[in-house]
Structures are given as C-alpha cells and as structure tokens.
Amino acid sequence: MAEPAAYRELEARFARLHALGGASAVLDWDSQTMMPPGGAGARAEQRAALALACHEILTDPRLGELLDRAEAETGELDRWQAANLAEMRRGWVHANAVEARLVEALTKATSRCEMRWRRARPDNDFAAFAPALSEVVALVRETAAAKAAALGTSPYDALLDEYEPDARSAEIDAVFADIESFLPDFLAAVLEHQARKPKPLPLAGPFPVEAQRALGVKMMAIVGFDFDHGRLDVSAHPFCGGTPDDVRITTRYDEADFTQGLMAVLHETGHAMYERGLPPAWRLQPVGRAASAGLHEGQSLLIEMQACRGREFIAFAAPLLRAAFGRDGPAWQADNIHRLYTRVEPGLIRVDADEVTYPAHVLLRYRLEKAMIAGELAVGDLPGAWREGMGELLGLVPPDDRTGCLQDIHWAEGAFGYFPTYTLGAMIAAQLFDAAQAADPDIRPGLGRGDFAPLLGWLRANVHELGSSLGTAELVERATGRPLDAAVFKAHLEARYLA
C-alpha cells in the first residue's frame, strides 16, 4: 500500500505524542507506588509540562491541515491505516474542541477538588467538599458542551466518548434498564439460595506480605504475565499502568485477609494481558491502543470474575493457596474457597461489592452523573439523591456521606462518563467468555489445570490484537456473534449464584 506523505507525517507526530504519554504513565505509576510525599509538587509540575507538550502537538494548526490532507487521500491507505487516521481525528477533535483556558481551569479545579476530597472523606464533611465539586461540575459541563458541539452528541455522550468511543447513553440506558429490572428479584433469590447453604468457613490469618506477594507473582505467571515486560508493586488502590512494553500492576496486602489482594492481582493481570497483547506493529499509534475503557474492564473482569472465580480455576488454585501459607483443613478446600469468592452481600461501598451487587453501585452513579451534567441535579442535593438511590437499588441507606456520596474519587478528578464502563465491562466479560468457550471447548478444562493458553489464544485473536482497529461494539459483535446486551451476563449470574 502506498503511504501518502501527509499520513506518514501524522504517524511521526502521533508516535511522539504516544511516547510522551508513555512517559506520563510511568510517572503516574511512580506517584502511586514509589514517590515520597514531598515529591508531589514537583511531580504535578512535571506532568503538567508533559500534558502541555501533548496538547501543543494536538492543537498545532499544522496537525489539522495534515489530517485534512490525509483524509482526502484515504484511498491509498490500508484498513489499519484508515482506522489509525480515524483515531487520530478523534483525538484531534477532543483536544481542539476545548479552549486552552478551559483545559487549564479544569486541571486546576480537579487538583484542588481532589485535595479537598482527601480530607473531606475521612472527615465525613460533604459541606467542605461541595464548593470544590461544584466548581469542577461547572467546568466539566462547559467542556461537555464544547465537545458536544464538535462531536454532534449530547453533552453527557461527549464525555462518555472519551472513555467509550462512539458509545451513546441511549443504548446504555436500555441495557442498564434491563439489569435494573432484573436485579432486585434476582438478588433476593440469591440471598435466599445462599442462606440455605452452609456459611463459608473463614481463612484464618495472619498471611505474611512476602508470602502473599510470592503467591501473586506465581498466579500472574500462570495467567501468562511476562515479567520481562512488567512488574507487580503495592499502591493504596490497585491499578494497571505503564505501557504495553512495560506493564506495571499493583495490589495491596492485608495480613489478616489475602483474598482481596490476590483477586486484585488477577484483575489487574487481566488488564495487563490486554495491554501486552495489543498489536506491536502499531504500538506508537492511536489504533494500537485499547479500544475503550469498557473493553479494558472486560478483560480484567474476564480474568478475575469469569475465569478465576470459576470452580475450575479455584480447584486448581486451592492447593497453591494451602502451600503458599502452609495451611490445610476444611476451610482450605476448593469448595469453601469458591463459596468465599462468590459470597454475595449487599453493602454500601462499591469497591468492596461482589459481582451481583456491583452493577447497582454503577447504576446509581450513572444516574446521578447524567443528572449533574444535564443540570438537573445540583451538587448540594447529591447526598440526598445518593441516599434515596441506594435505598431504592439495594435497600440500604448510608448513615453518612463517607459511606455515601463521598466514597469515590472519580467526580473530584473530573471523570464523568467513566462509571458506566465498569458494568459495560462486566457484560462484555460475560459475553466474550461465553463465546470463547463455545469456540474452544478446552478453555474451561485448561483453567482447571492452570493452563490459560487456550483462553488467551482466543482473546489475542478476537480482542487484544485488534487494538482500536474496530470499535468496541463491532468488536464484541464480531467476536461473539451478537450485539452487546445484558442477556449473557444475567445468564452467567444465574448459573453461578443460583446453581
């Protein structure tokens, strides 16, 4: 295929943008894992300087001209190049829709708001947090309006588009409505079913951090994590960062309970396998990136929820757990561990929620953030709306804002449009895992012998290696033979929790 000059020049510019983005990602990892507290100010300056350098590349008038010229020459581009060009344009639209003044104001406001949040949450002081959040919401709404005009979408959809390209809230509303109508009766049935079975026996600690870490490393290797291209470290909140060539995942250790930290390792390993599996030939280009936040979460939930909380894998893992901590007895048998790892218990805190009740937490946030962006919910009314929503969705009313609307950092960071991707991810994970099993009957037995190769082979071919060459909706439909909806997710929940 010929490569026209304008397109070639765009690739060079985006490679540079991508390298600066990689630098910023490593610095972000460092901030959360290694940086001493006194380094925060200098780090903020470093990341702001990097963000400005990236912004300048994307807003250089010459870049817009190059895009126009390349788009006039698409006949000479192959499928991947054309998809790459479309992703370049998407990045350009997002960056150029918003004035530099607004970008800077929002950066500063979210910085202040995050700091305020870090004190307000432990202090349970919503009043101290509200003015900073109001400022953020006002600036996010302004951003949303500007991007909506450029993208031809609603303001909320313009925000959503940053995380979930081409997704629209009208479609999400429909699948979320399906889950919302399913959940109350299903949850009641699960709790009743669970009550009839013996309570899981607790795994008694302590579990030394070093043993937990060694077990985590072993599990990562079993899934297929390549330690020549990545690390495992500790942070307050587990995450997957770095770059595809150097994937940095984290977890946290609780000496009294290893189960959460271990599942976090497996969750983040799912993210990491996606990053590592992205097409190497396109590693510095927009089309070489993950297709969406929902698809990314789909990869982590597929490994964690679908594969590693399943009976096959837990049967394989139970002896490793016993060996890791030198324990034995009834609590350490696969059956009991499986009961622990699939225990359902409605609670107030999203990050502690089980697979069944998690969507309720997301539905609430999705509902509230849409209302805030639409100007239908004032920040001051958030605590009340939260309590009301939690009562309706899970039958629980938080006694305070610390366990209510102050629990998450996302809105303080200006991340509106991100929450729905958690539940989109859960549905994607269920639908992909189902299709993978149908395509390769050895996938489930493989998990039972700690062999992830069949599963990963299918994921590589049908998801990872496609990068952003397909949109998430098209990718899921091609991989699974049907558009994304809640049906397979619901069937999965029924099979696992009512069996």
Residue (of 36, 27, 34) closest to 54 by Cα position: 27
Residue closer to a copy of itself by CB (options 218, 327) is 218
CB of 465 to a copy of itself, least distance (A): 18
> For residue 19, how many other CB atoms are within 10 A of its CB?
12
268, 297, 312, 369: the active-site residue: 268
Window contacting a copy of itself (CB under 8 A); options: 33-41, 155-163, 167-175, 425-433: 33-41
If one asks whether residue 229 binds a copy of itself (CB under 8 A), the answer comes out as yes
If one asks whether residue 214 binds a copy of itself (CB under 8 A), the answer comes out as no
Q: Mutual orientation of helices 40-59 and 61-71 as an angle, nearest 10°?
A: 50
Pull the structure tokens for residue 487: 């049906």
If one asks whether residue 243 binds a copy of itself (CB under 8 A), the answer comes out as yes
If one asks whether residue 245 binds a copy of itself (CB under 8 A), the answer comes out as yes
If one asks whether residue 34 binds a copy of itself (CB under 8 A), the answer comes out as yes
Window contacting a copy of itself (CB under 8 A); options: 91-99, 179-187, 240-248, 360-368: 240-248
If one asks whether residue 15 binds a copy of itself (CB under 8 A), the answer comes out as yes
If one asks whether residue 235 binds a copy of itself (CB under 8 A), the answer comes out as no
If one asks whether residue 45 binds a copy of itself (CB under 8 A), the answer comes out as yes
Taking CA 194 as the corner, what is the angle to CA 206 and CA 260, rounded to the nearest 5 degrees? 30
Binding test (CB under 8 A) with a copy of itself, winner from 28, 30, 392, 465:
30
Window contacting a copy of itself (CB under 8 A); options: 147-155, 221-229, 320-328, 335-343: 221-229
Pull the structure tokens for residue 86: 């479309």
> For residue 191, how many other CB atoms are within 10 A of its CB?
14
If one asks whether residue 213 binds a copy of itself (CB under 8 A), the answer comes out as no
CB of 48 to a copy of itself, least distance (A): 7
CB of 248 to a copy of itself, least distance (A): 8
- 237 forms beta bridges with none
CB 75 within 8 A of CB 38: no
Pull the structure tokens for residue 264: 């976090």
CB of 329 to a copy of itself, least distance (A): 32
Residue closer to a copy of itself by CB (options 43, 339) is 43
Binding test (CB under 8 A) with a copy of itself, winner from 166, 246, 257, 381:
246
- Render 303-349 in DSSP notation, one character per residue: IIIIIITSHHHHHHHHHHHHHHHT--SGGGSHHHHHHHHT-----S-
CB of 165 to a copy of itself, least distance (A): 24
Residue closer to a copy of itself by CB (options 15, 188) is 15
- Is 268 an active-site residue? yes
If one asks whether residue 349 binds a copy of itself (CB under 8 A), the answer comes out as no
Window contacting a copy of itself (CB under 8 A); options: 49-57, 203-211, 374-382, 441-449: 49-57
Helix (H) or strand (E) run with residue 438 in it: helix 420-439
Residue 243 half-sphere exposure toward CB, CA atoms < 13 A: 16
Give the type of residue at 442.
D
Which residues neighbour 398 within 8 Å (Cβ) at sequence distance 6 or greater?
348, 386, 387, 390, 404
| Integer Cα distance of 95 and 267 in angstroms | 31
Chain centroid, CA 270 distance in Å:
11
Residue closer to a copy of itself by CB (options 242, 467) is 242
Binding test (CB under 8 A) with a copy of itself, winner from 76, 99, 226, 352:
226
Binding test (CB under 8 A) with a copy of itself, winner from 41, 75, 326, 330:
41
CB 402 within 8 A of CB 121: yes
* Terminal Cα-to-Cα distance of the chain (whole angstroms): 54
Distances (CA, A) of 431 to 94, 297, 370: 30, 13, 26
> For residue 214, how many other CB atoms are within 10 A of its CB?
12
Interface with a copy of itself in residues 177-196 (CB under 8 A): none
Residue entry with tokens 């001051």: 380
If one asks whether residue 102 binds a copy of itself (CB under 8 A), the answer comes out as no
Binding test (CB under 8 A) with a copy of itself, winner from 193, 227, 351, 478:
227
Residue (of 224, 313, 310) closest to 269 by Cα position: 224
If one asks whether residue 439 binds a copy of itself (CB under 8 A), the answer comes out as no
CB of 39 to a copy of itself, least distance (A): 3
Residue closer to a copy of itself by CB (options 56, 76) is 56
If one asks whether residue 50 binds a copy of itself (CB under 8 A), the answer comes out as yes
CB of 46 to a copy of itself, least distance (A): 4
> 148-156 long-range contacts, Cβ below 8 Å, gap at least 24?
149/97, 150/93, 150/94, 150/96, 150/97, 151/93, 151/97, 155/373, 155/374, 156/369, 156/370, 156/373, 156/374, 156/416, 156/417
Interface with a copy of itself in residues 282-301 (CB under 8 A): 283-284
Number of residues that bind a copy of itself (CB under 8 A): 40
CB of 23 to a copy of itself, least distance (A): 4
Pull the structure tokens for residue 317: 């893992």
Residue closer to a copy of itself by CB (options 35, 209) is 35
CB of 267 to a copy of itself, least distance (A): 20
Q: Which residues bind a copy of itself (CB under 8 A)?
A: 15-16, 19-20, 22-24, 26-27, 30, 34-39, 41-43, 45-50, 52-53, 226-231, 242-246, 283-284
The residues annotated with a catalytic role in the active site are 268
